[in-house]
Amino acid sequence: MITRVILILLLPFTCVLSAFGTQAPSLIRYNISADKVDGKQSYYIDVLTLALEKSRPEYGDFELKPVFMSMPQSRTIKLVADRKLIDIVWTMTSPEREQQLLPVYFPIMKGLMGYRIAIIRRDEQLRFDHINDLEDMKQLVFGQGNDWPDADILQSHGFSVVRGASDNLLNMLVKGRFDAFPRALHEPWEEVSGRSDVMIETGLLVKYSAPIYFFVNADNHQLASRIQFGLAKAIDDGSFDELFFSHPTTAGILQKAKLEQRRVIELNNPNLSSESQALTSSKNLWLQ
């Protein structure tokens, strides 16, 4: 319902845009790591491309341009906020990020980032087999990235969290700095591949509301409106779900993680804004 309302509200604006005739393609710059290729990023680029294609008749042509630089999320967010080098970032939301940037209120991973399974040290599965509830889990220490909203969610529920640079967390786990490294369902498989010192924990699932949005500069209302418009069309015509369930990053991941065999521990996300909370009533936007 929310996406349909947004779609209706945007129509007059987009019709005015189309009346101006042919315009130069809109340039949209996004960041890609220069030294560490992350195949999962292709999903977000493909979703962004879908939204821009769906909005092409109303908003005109576009050009997507990668900017190859290695940087943490906090740096990427600041560059968008300052309107330097890049125009858009995709990241898990938080009230601070929604105040600093202009969010496109559409969960582009259908909430998948809130389905968390852990990477653990090899041969420690037995320790996790005895964890059945929230209080049992609080005996563990979790590792998370320095600037990840997930760390705040876990800490709000009384978990002990060790923060570190994202590219060093697996090494910190192996060295015993913490007991488990929670990852979204689609993330750990490639990260443990070829390693003999870590494994994916087999029995637990931590679940909380964790939408990932596209964010743009706070003054870039035209780009935000265009993406929202395109995503709304993609949801309505089924092309968004088609992409989500067939993309190499996400296809079959619910079955691969064997969710039916896992003990589910649900957490509330106290850091959702009222706008993000309102989206939870739109069932077609989330995994069911």
Give the Å distances, CA to CA, from 101 to 49, 81, 98, 216: 21, 6, 5, 6
Do residues 101 and 227 make contact, with C-beta atoms less than 8 angstroms apart? no
Does the pLDDT at position 7 exceed 60? Answer: no
CA 288 to chain centre: 17
Residue 96 has pLDDT above 70, yes or no: yes
pLDDT band at 23 (very low <50, low <70, confident <90, very high): low
CA distance 208 to 280: 12
- Over 50: is that where the pLDDT of 97 sits? yes
pLDDT recorded at residue 17: 40
Rounded-to-10 torsion of CA 97, 282, 247, 86: -20
Q: Specify which residues 67 forms β-bridges with.
A: 31
pLDDT at 4: 40
Distance CA 64, CA 99 (A): 25
In degrees, rounded to 5, the angle at the alpha carbon of residue 180 between the alpha carbons of residues 179 and 181 is 140
Condensed to tens digits (0 to 9), the pLDDT of residues 179-192 reads 999 999 999 998 99
Q: Regarding predicted confidence, which is higher, 72 or 59?
A: 59
Q: Is a pLDDT exceeding 60 seen at residue 9?
A: no
Is it the case that residue 18 has pLDDT exceeding 90?
Answer: no
Percent of the chain with pLDDT over 70: 91
Mean pLDDT, range 224-241, rounded to an integer: 98
**In this model, does residue 10 exceed pLDDT 80?**
no
Question: Which two three-digit tokens encode residue 79?
Answer: 């560059």
State how far the Cα of 285 lies from the Cα of 288, in Å rounded to an integer.
9
Mean pLDDT value across the chain: 90
**248 C-beta neighbours (distance < 10 Å), count:** 12
The residue to which tokens 């590792």 are assigned: 143
Measured CA to CA, the distance from residue 159 to residue 274 in angstroms comes to 25
Q: Confidence band (pLDDT; 50, 70, 90) for 157?
A: very high
Q: How confident is the model at residue 2 (pLDDT cuts 50, 70, 90)?
A: very low
User: Which whole number is the average pLDDT over 139-160?
Assistant: 94
The whole-number pLDDT of residue 147 equals 87
Per mean pLDDT, which range of 22-36, 77-91, 94-108 is the poorest? 22-36
Q: How far apart are CA 78 and CA 75, in angstroms?
A: 5
Specify the DSSP class assigned to residue 260.
G
Tokens describing residue 189: 């498989």
Q: Quick check: 13 pLDDT over 50?
A: no
The pTM of this model reads: 0.85
Strand order through the sheet with 212-216? 62-68, 26-32, 88-92, 212-216, 102-104
In terms of Cα–Cα distance, which of 144, 156, 170, 125 is closest to 271?
A: 156
Q: What is the per-residue pLDDT across 196-214, written as a single tens digit (0 to 9) for each?
A: 999 999 999 999 999 999 9
Mean pLDDT of 161-174: 95
Question: Which positions ≥6 away from 169 have C-beta within 8 Å?
Answer: 143, 144, 145, 181
| pLDDT for residue 12 | 43
Percent of the chain with pLDDT over 90: 83
